[in-house]
């Protein structure tokens, strides 16, 4: 039986008070709509249709991928009107699953349960018991057998109906053929003058079709985002869940309330993470990794035994960054895309590394820049020294052999090569290659003027 997945995402999201369409606002680094699509991903569907309207071009560009199609709803006259637009795109006689683009944390097993209960012939609603159901459509049940009779929208509900705490989550699974027929019969004679999708419930009941209400496992799963307050609340709920999952898997978080993961974190055993760290994209931490407070780490692989001190920023962007076993990084270090550090490398405060390879045991402990460089084993790169890798038009490489000692305040003007074991005197500006084992000094000679008298101020 063919499955259609339809995600309604045409609404304006007025209460966000933002130029960005609501469904593109981010939760844990990914758009609300992307979360919904991800939950639907494991389901074998014949179609995945996103209904767009407000900011359609932006929304479509943001989530376009193979297997996803878009149907535009212009203007937006309600959820029933939205589904009317997709009728021609629905395939088969099986089930159509309807999800909301602004309810990001719906879980795959819940969606699966709706589809299975529908089985192409029952109308299945995802409902939720809410402490405060204001704004939600209410589930009206038969007093005798508890069967679902209808959904009444909050604005259309009587005072008695508003006392009902069971609300409609906005998600359902419906028999495709019947759904097409029902949405054709909707009208907008209601408090909001909209075509309500929820009116199909009474139609199904009138036809004698089974209508089931399945209750969501948690409230978080069905919470929608309507304003920045709800977005932040859902973000915290999601982060708390991720933190708990990691702690149950053995990761030690100093404070789960001060931890943010916007992507995936793969980890070994005995990982310690201090407060206020943010992980983005794909991050891998090996065994016994310890991360100090206030670090931001994005798209990076950190090997076993690495110690990352406080306030370190690592961003591998698309290229990635990697840190070898037992390395010491920070505090206040910055690793950029293409930083590849070997085992036992030490990177200290205010050192920036970009697109550079450092072999085992190399050290740059203070105030340095290594860009487009290949650095050998056990090199000591002095305080305040830099590679001048950019001539204003092009980037050039610096190659530093094993056991090279670069003194403080040196400028290595690329392209340049320092042979194994070379020594560079402090304050040198190196523009020519240095042979292995040589000492290169390229700075003004010190002169002493004995008895020098300082100038005095003229009257
Ligand atoms: C809807 C339900 C309500 C339910 C609530 C749960 C209806 C009539 N009501 O109300 O029973 O309790 O969700 O959150 O369905 N959308 C479109 N096109 C439109 C209008 C909306 O695509 O013309 C999309 C929105 O972008 C959103 C979703 O449909 O993703 C829900 O729309 P919204 O206006 O938020 O419906 P509610 O009034 O919250
Ligand atoms: Mg809503």
Q: Are 13 and 70 contained in the same domain?
A: yes
CA distance 106 to 35: 8
- The set of residues, in sequence order, having a beta carbon less than 8 Å from that of 93 and lying 6+ positions away, is 1, 2, 120, 175, 176, 177
Helix (H, G, I), strand (E, B) or coil at 299: strand
Shared-domain flag, residues 182 and 43: yes
Give the nearest ligand 1 atom to 51 CA: 22
Q: Which of 222, 252, 270 is the last residue of a domain?
A: 222
Contact 168, 156 (CB under 8 A): no
Residue 249 CA to ligand 2 center (angstroms) comes to: 35
- 77 CA closest ligand 1 atom index: 23
Q: Which of 185, 201, 222 is the last residue of a domain?
A: 222
Please report whether residue 77 resides in a domain: yes
pLDDT of residue 160: 97
Ligand 1 surroundings by CB, under 6 angstroms: 8-11, 51, 53, 73, 76-79, 81-82, 100-102, 136-137, 151, 153, 167-170, 196-198, 224
Same domain, 218 and 256: no
Q: Is residue 453 part of a domain?
A: no
Are residues 303 and 206 part of one domain? no
Q: Are residues 261 and 182 in the same domain?
A: no
- CA neighbor of 246 nearest in space, from 225, 268, 227: 268
Q: Which of 79, 134, 161, 166 to mutate to test the pocket of ligand 1 (most atoms within 8 A of CB)?
A: 79
In a shared domain, residues 192 and 257: no
Instruction: Identify the segments of the chain with pLDDT beneath 70.
Output: none
Which residue among 9, 11, 106 is best mutated to probe the pocket of ligand 1, counting the most ligand atoms within 8 A of its Cβ? Answer: 11
d(CA 151, CA 139): 5
Name the closest ligand to CA 138: 1
Beta strands in 255-356 (DSSP E): 259-267, 272-273, 277-285, 290-291, 296-302, 307-308, 313-315, 321-323, 328-329, 334-335, 340-341, 346-349, 352-354
Give the ligand whose atoms come closest to the C-alpha of residue 194: 1
278 and 315, same domain (yes or no): yes
As separate numbers, helices (DSSP H) first and strands (DSSP E) second, the chain gives 7, 38
* C-alpha to C-alpha distance for 424 and 13, rounded to whole angstroms: 62
Using alpha carbons, list the distances in angstroms from residue 197 to 47, 78, 161, 183: 20, 8, 19, 7
Distance 77 CA to ligand 1 centre (A): 10
pLDDT of 219 reads: 86
250 class by beta-carbon count within 10 Å (0-12 exposed, 13-18 middle, 19+ buried): exposed
Domain stops at, among 207, 222, 237: 222
**Predicted local confidence at residue 23, as pLDDT:** 97
Same domain, residue pair 235 and 147: no
Contact 214, 126 (CB under 8 A): yes
Which ligand is located closest to the Cα atom of residue 198? 1
Q: What spacing in Å lies between the alpha carbon of 224 and ligand 2's midpoint? A: 6
195 & 237 share domain: no
Q: Is 210 exposed, middle or buried (0-12, 13-18, 19+ CB in 10 A)?
A: middle
Do 153 and 243 lie in one domain? The reply is: no
pLDDT tens column, 197-211 = 999 999 999 999 999
> Is 36 among the domain residues?
yes
CATH number at residue 19: 3.90.550.10
Q: Residue 40: in which H helix or E strand, if any?
A: helix 32-40
The boundaries of the domain holding residue 27 are 3-222
∠ Cα 433 439 444 (to 5°): 85
Question: Does residue 344 fall inside a structural domain?
Answer: yes
Is there a domain that residue 452 lies in? no
Asked whether residue 412 is domain-assigned, the answer is yes
35 and 132 both lie in a single domain: yes
| CA 55 / ligand 1 centre spacing (Å) | 17
Is the residue at 216 inside a domain? yes
- 172, 159, 234: which is closest to 198 by C-alpha? 172
For residues 212 and 283, state if they share a domain.
Answer: no
Tell the residue nearest (CA) to atom 22 of ligand 1: 10
Q: What is the per-residue pLDDT for 172?
A: 98
Give the pair of three-digit tokens for residue 297: 């780490």
Query: How many structural domains comprise the chain?
Result: 2
CATH number of the domain that residue 374 is part of: 2.160.10.10
Closest-CA residue to 6 (of 44, 45, 49): 49
Residue 456 lies in a domain: no
Nearest ligand 1 atom, CA 7: 30
Give dist(CA 428, CA 253) in Å, integer.
Answer: 45
Cα 144 to ligand 1 centroid, rounded to whole Å: 30
pLDDT in tens, 254-296: 999 999 999 999 999 999 999 999 999 999 999 999 999 999 9
Residues marked as catalytic: 366
């Amino acid at each position: 039986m063919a499955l259609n997945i339809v995600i309604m995402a045409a609404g304006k999201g007025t209460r966000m008070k933002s130029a960005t369409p609501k469904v593109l606002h981010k939760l844990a680094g990914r758009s609300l709509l992307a979360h919904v699509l991800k939950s639907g991903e494991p389901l074998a569907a014949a179609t995945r249709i996103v209904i767009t309207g407000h900011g359609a071009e932006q929304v479509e560009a943001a989530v376009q991928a193979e297997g996803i199609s878009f149907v535009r709803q212009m203007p937006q006259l309600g959820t029933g009107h939205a589904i009317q637009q997709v009728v021609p795109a629905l395939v088969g006689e099986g089930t159509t699953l309807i999800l909301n683009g602004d309810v990001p944390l719906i879980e795959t097993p819940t969606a699966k349960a709706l589809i299975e209960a529908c089985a192409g012939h029952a109308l299945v609603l995802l409902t939720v018991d809410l402490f405060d159901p204001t704004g939600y459509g209410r589930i009206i049940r038969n007093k005798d057998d508890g069967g679902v009779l209808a959904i009444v929208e909050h604005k259309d509900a009587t005072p008695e109906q508003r006392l009902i705490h069971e609300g409609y989550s906005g998600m359902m699974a419906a028999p495709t053929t019947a759904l097409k027929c029902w949405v054709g019969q909707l009208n907008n004679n209601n408090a909001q003058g909209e075509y309500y999708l929820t009116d199909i419930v009474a139609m199904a009941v009138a036809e004698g079709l089974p209508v089931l209400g399945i209750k969501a496992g948690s409230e978080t799963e069905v919470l929608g985002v309507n304003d920045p307050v709800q977005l932040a609340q859902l973000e915290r709920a999601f982060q708390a869940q991720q933190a708990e999952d990691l702690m149950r898997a053995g990761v030690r978080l100093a404070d789960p309330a001060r931890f943010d993961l916007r992507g995936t974190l793969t980890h070994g055993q005995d990982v310690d993470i201090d407060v206020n760290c943010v992980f983005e994209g794909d991050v891998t931490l090996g065994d016994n990794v310890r991360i100090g407070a206030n670090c931001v780490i994005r798209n990076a692989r950190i090997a076993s035994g690495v110690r990352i001190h406080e306030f370190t920023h690592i961003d591998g962007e698309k290229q990635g960054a990697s840190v070898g076993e037992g390395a010491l990084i920070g505090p206040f270090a910055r690793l950029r895309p293409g930083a590849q550090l070997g085992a036992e490398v030490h990177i200290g405060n205010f050192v920036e590394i970009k697109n550079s390879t450092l072999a085992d045991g190399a050290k740059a402990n203070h105030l340095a820049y290594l860009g487009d460089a290949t650095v050998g084993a056990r090199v000591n790169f002095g305080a305040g020294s830099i590679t001048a890798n950019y001539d204003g038009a092009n980037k050039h490489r610096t190659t530093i052999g094993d056991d090279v000692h670069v003194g403080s305040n040196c400028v290595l003007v690329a392209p340049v090569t320092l042979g194994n074991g070379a020594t560079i005197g402090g304050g040198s500006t190196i523009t020519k290659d240095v042979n292995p084992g040589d000492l290169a000094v390229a700075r003004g000679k010190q002169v002493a003027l004995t008895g020098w008298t300082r100038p005095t101020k003229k009257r």
